[in-house]
Amino acid sequence: MNEKEGGFIIKMPSSTEDKLPKTSNNITGFIYTILEFAKEDINRVTFSLKVGLAVLLVSLLILVQVPYQVFGTTIIWSILTVAIMFEYTVGATIHKGFNRALGSLFAGLLAIAVAELALMGGSVAEPLIIGISMFMIGTVTSFMKLWPTFVPYEYGFRVILFTYCLIIVSGYRMGNPIRTSIDRFYSIMIGAFVTVVVNTLIFPIWAGEQLHKELVKNFISVADSLEECVKKYLAYDGSDQPVFIKTLIHEFPDEPAYKKFQSTLTSSAKLESLALSAKWEPPHGRFRQAFYPWSEYVKVGTVLRYCAYEVMGLHGVLHSQIQAPRNLRCIFETEILEAASKAAELIRCLSKDICEMKQTRKCSSLENVHSATERLQRAIDVHLFNKHDAADEINYPSQRQSMSLVTFISLLIEFAARLDHLVEAVNELSKMAKFERESL
Q: How much is the pTM? A: 0.80
Backbone angles phi, psi at 437, to 5 degrees: -75, 150
Quick count: other Cβ atoms within 10 Å of Cβ 37? 11
- The alpha-carbon radius of gyration of the chain (Å, integer) is 30
Q: CATH number of the domain at 207-437, out of 1.10.300.10, 1.10.110.30, 1.20.58.220, 3.40.50.720?
A: 1.20.58.220
Distance, in Å, from the CA atom of 101 to the CA atom of 284, rounded to the nearest integer, reads: 24
- What secondary structure does DSSP assign to 341-394, as a single string? HHHHHHHHHHHHHHHHTEE---HHHHHHHHHHHHHHHHHHHHHTB-TTSTT--B
Provide the residue-wise pLDDT of the chain in tens; the chain has 440 residues: 444 444 434 344 444 444 544 444 688 888 888 888 878 888 889 999 999 999 999 888 877 776 777 767 777 888 888 988 899 999 999 988 888 888 888 888 888 888 888 878 777 788 888 889 989 999 999 998 888 888 878 888 988 898 888 888 776 666 666 777 777 788 888 888 999 999 999 999 999 999 999 999 999 999 999 998 898 888 865 554 444 444 433 555 556 667 777 888 888 889 999 999 999 999 988 898 888 999 999 999 999 999 999 998 888 888 877 777 778 788 888 889 999 999 999 999 999 999 999 888 777 788 889 899 899 888 887 776 654 444 444 444 456 667 888 888 999 999 999 999 999 999 999 999 988 886 54
Q: Exposure of 228 by Cβ count < 10 A (0-12 exposed, 13-18 middle, 19+ buried)? A: buried
Distance, in Å, from the CA atom of 435 to the CA atom of 427, rounded to the nearest integer, reads: 10
157-160 own/partner pairs: CB under 8 Å, 24+ apart: 157/103, 158/103, 159/99, 159/100, 159/103, 159/104, 159/107, 160/103, 160/106, 160/107, 160/110
Distance separating the N- and C-terminal Cα atoms of the chain: 63
